Amino acid sequence: MKIGLIGYNFPHLKSEQIFHNLLEKDYKLEIFLLPFISRKKRVSLIHHRPDQTNSIDLKTIGEKYNIRVNLCKNDFDIPNGFDVYLILGSNLLSKDCVLGKKIINCHPGIIPSVRGLDSFKFSIMNNIELGITLHFIDDKVDEGEVISTIKTPIYISDSLETLSRRYYENEIKILSNFEQYLKKPEFVKGNFSKLPPTMRMKIEDESIMVRKFDSYVEFFS
């Protein structure tokens, strides 16, 4: 299978981890790196994901393994012609880029109920079961065709730290094994109604989410 990997031209931990998992499989890989847009570091009460900059950039890694690396000015530079593309790290892709491509993303929330940013936190805040969605992307926010949804195990003794770590690890595992879910889809049972996409959670709402955590774990464990 010929796979195009779409990532940032910047160190990104998720990209590094998935790349190394894919190296163990019999794929023909090519890397397309988009410019990274630096944003002001925001104040957050809860850091539910590892520091993504604590990693090695894909250009360095790809060159070590003699895999072609393309430095793209924008997503128009990503050609068609691959069996599938995987999003390792990216902002929203343009409609013109998406056209004619099968592009797979792994979203840390159950679509369509949990879309947008800080999905882990909003799942807890809104009492929605934690899960990962593997889906094809279109030019809208987390609205492409769903391939699979996979539940994240929750245990009665979980803390925010243990649960967020397991949640992130599942995201890496599921995207690394995307072919398994293409061949044999699975879905979390339940009524997941469509909700609007979210932005970053405000710090005052994070405090509310933390207070809800114990009852959330008790309900879903």
Burial (CB count within 10 angstroms: exposed 0-12, middle 13-18, buried 19+), residue 113:
buried
| pLDDT average, residue stretch 30-47 | 86
Please check whether the domain covering 2-220 is classified as CATH 1.10.1660.10: no
* pLDDT surpasses 70 at 141: no
| pLDDT average, residue stretch 139-164 | 91
CA proximity to 152, closest of 194, 124, 180, 118: 124
pLDDT digits (tens, 9 = 90+) for 3-24: 999 999 999 999 999 999 999 9
The model's confidence at residue 36, banded by pLDDT at 50, 70 and 90, is confident
Tell me if 207 sits within 8 A of 168, measured CB to CB: no
pLDDT digits (tens, 9 = 90+) for 150-159: 999 999 999 9
3-state secondary structure of 89: coil
pLDDT at residue 143 in the model: 75
